[in-house]
Structure 1
Amino acid sequence: MTAPLPEPGSLWPAILRQTQHALACGALRPIETTQTTVEDANVTFLVRQVSSVVRKEADRKKREAAPPVNPFLPCDADLVVADIGDSHILLLNKFNVIDQHLLIVTRHFEPQEALITLSDFAALFVCLDQFDGLGFYNGGPEAGASQPHKHLQIVPLPLGRPGPSLPIEPLLAAARFRDDGIGTVPGLPFLHAFARIEGSRETAAQRASERYRALLDATGLHPVDAGRQPAPYNLLVTRDWLLLVPRSAESVEGVAVNALGYAGSLFVRDEAQMRTVAQLGPMRLLERAAR
């Protein structure tokens, strides 16, 4: 039997209902944060001090000492928001720092280093069609992925207050494009590729998938085979554009960086890391984590 897609207008209310349920039963365990802003390179970076990084490191050490466990097979039913067609499930992120942080998980195991498929983009745009959000992908452990089971992530916009919907948004207006529509953003001092998604919302997933392949080529990440990425990277996706950043290191001076860092949102575990970000500068930190 084919799993139906969420009805138009139904997904956000379902997310809110499942959040209430998961909080009530203890399945959802939000991490309290202290947020500050750091001005750097014409971007107002959001920096949240959290304990989840410490917890993630502890969990990683436990996994290394014990047989591997896939939290998505089976997934916690109390965190399930909806089926997204036959191939994906929408889940609440169990240890969320940002409210309504969601995971778009493949129903059957695929490795996180697999290329993002048209089916993956279709599932993402089912969500983006119903609420304004930022989709992102951590392509491998060096890019911030903590689980080997393929999953995209999405957080609602705006990402934080004050400032624009996304901290890096002011830089994107200056993007320069080649004739094929692939561009770069002068304010980003690291290897990257940027593209806009134009046309109707009905074809957005197809166009995003095509642009994604072009971004891989533009940054030299030519797939070794038809289904696997050749190197780690982060991808950001909105209704209107994609940004791809190849990665070289999972952390810089102990500060972990995932795709949200390249949107202008960083996470630190203590005051020492907060000082590191302020002294080094968020943009320099991102540059050192990229290629």
Structure 2
Amino acid sequence: MTNDLLQKAKDVATAAQANGSLVPLETSLTHLIGQQGARFELRHLQSATPKHLQAEGPKPNPFLPWDQHLEVKRIGNSHAVILNKYPVQSAHMLLITKTWQPQSGWLSMEDWNALALVDAMTTGLWFFNSGPDAGASQPHRHLQLLPRAPGEPICARQTWFQRCAEGITSVEDEPLLRSSRVVKLASSLTGEKLHQVYLTLAEELELGTPEQNDRPQGAYNLLMSRDWMALIRRRREGIHGFNVNALGFAGSLLSTDASDRAWIERKGPEALLHAVADAVG
């Protein structure tokens, strides 16, 4: 059953691109060298800017209902896996709630159970943007998955997350840890265990708890592989024309014609992450 979902996603993508439902974004790729030799991916958008990246007023909810041409699989009674309509990478999947749930609310046990079911079928880099200040483009709840083949690096900054999860990197060595929490995950990924890890990290970042707060008390990004989970507290969505979501902290940045590429080349990619992260304490 492993990777059956990925093959289904690829098949759906082929058909959806043929009928115009899927609109892959054309980008050019360069690399930026960060601290300690870290290689960041910087993709420059060459296609027309999609609507979800444009500064506009309220938009229709694209997930209620979702485009059936993009549907990959329904997950129980509560969730569905669909394709990202404007992907940069092939088979970029979204795990969405079938009914309205706010992106800015707490991730629920149902969300984590659905994620665990999908991850058992195909895995990769999971990420979540909690709201506009964290880079979310839609208010309807959706987690995202970039599939990875066995042995393929999870993300450009994989080594950084691994070192933090192992406790090798300290706040003194890496100031970004003042805004982040990274923990190693056990081998068995159940929804219940993932939910508890998520709530623990959220409380450590002073985002509150579901028992005391209707919603998290701040914006954040979540990143996860089968080996580690990370939360990063956010204070703004972007700076110098760069829009930063969770993938920015994974080492994948996107620029448009409005982005000040000279600034990031001069200051370095970590300067962008520090500028949008919110230190605790």
When normalised by structure 1's length, the TM-score is 0.85
Alignment correspondent of 1:3 = none
Structure 1 residues 86 and 184 mapped into 2: Cα distance closer, same or farther (>3 Å)? Answer: farther
Taking the TM superposition and a 5 Å limit, the aligned residue runs for 1:208-223 are 208-223=194-209
Alignment correspondent of 1:100 = 91
Give the drift of 1:217.
Answer: 1.1
1:152 to 139, 143, 151: 143
Alignment correspondent of 1:55 = 50
Structure 1 residues 31 and 252 mapped into 2: Cα distance closer, same or farther (>3 Å)? Answer: same
2:180 to 192, 196, 199: 192
The answer to whether the aligner puts 1:20 opposite 2:14 as a matched pair is yes
Alignment correspondent of 2:4 = 10
CA distance in 2: counterparts of 1:185 and 1:130, whole angstroms = 39
The answer to whether the aligner puts 1:87 opposite 2:78 as a matched pair is yes
Unaligned runs of 5+ in 1: 1-6
CA distance in 2: counterparts of 1:120 and 1:139, whole angstroms = 13
2:63 to 56, 72, 87: 72
* Identity fraction in percent: 32
CA distance in 2: counterparts of 1:257 and 1:37, whole angstroms = 16
CA distance in 2: counterparts of 1:153 and 1:243, whole angstroms = 14
Superposed CA RMSD in Å reads 2.4
SS of the residue 1:37 aligns to:
strand
The answer to whether the aligner puts 1:168 opposite 2:163 as a matched pair is no
The answer to whether the aligner puts 1:45 opposite 2:34 as a matched pair is no
Alignment correspondent of 2:235 = 248
CA distance in 2: counterparts of 1:272 and 1:108, whole angstroms = 36
Letter in 1 for 2:155: L
CA distance in 2: counterparts of 1:221 and 1:88, whole angstroms = 25
CA distance in 2: counterparts of 1:244 and 1:52, whole angstroms = 31
SS of the residue 1:75 aligns to:
coil
CA offsets per residue over residues 171-206 of structure 1, 9 Å max, x none? 23432778xxxx9794352411011110424x3x22
CA distance in 1: counterparts of 2:44 and 2:67, whole angstroms = 27
Tell me, yes or no, if the aligned pair for 1:176 and 1:185 is still in contact at 8 Å.
no
Alignment correspondent of 1:113 = 104
Tell me, yes or no, if the aligned pair for 1:53 and 1:268 is still in contact at 8 Å.
no
Give the drift of 1:60.
Answer: 4.1
The answer to whether the aligner puts 1:131 opposite 2:117 as a matched pair is no
Total equivalences in the alignment: 271
Structure 1 residues 154 and 173 mapped into 2: Cα distance closer, same or farther (>3 Å)? Answer: closer
SS of the residue 2:88 aligns to:
coil
Unaligned runs of 5+ in 2: none
SS of the residue 1:155 aligns to:
strand
The answer to whether the aligner puts 1:230 opposite 2:225 as a matched pair is no
When normalised by structure 2's length, the TM-score is 0.88
Tell me, yes or no, if the aligned pair for 1:111 and 1:149 is still in contact at 8 Å.
yes
Structure 1 residues 253 and 176 mapped into 2: Cα distance closer, same or farther (>3 Å)? Answer: same
Structure 1 residues 194 and 122 mapped into 2: Cα distance closer, same or farther (>3 Å)? Answer: same
Give the drift of 1:51.
Answer: 4.4
The answer to whether the aligner puts 1:273 opposite 2:268 as a matched pair is no
Tell me, yes or no, if the aligned pair for 2:124 and 2:225 is still in contact at 8 Å.
yes
- Higher mean alpha-carbon deviation, 9-18 vs 213-222, is at 9-18
- Higher mean alpha-carbon deviation, 48-57 vs 251-260, is at 48-57
Letter in 1 for 2:131: G
Structure 1 residues 188 and 154 mapped into 2: Cα distance closer, same or farther (>3 Å)? Answer: farther
Give the drift of 1:72.
Answer: 0.6
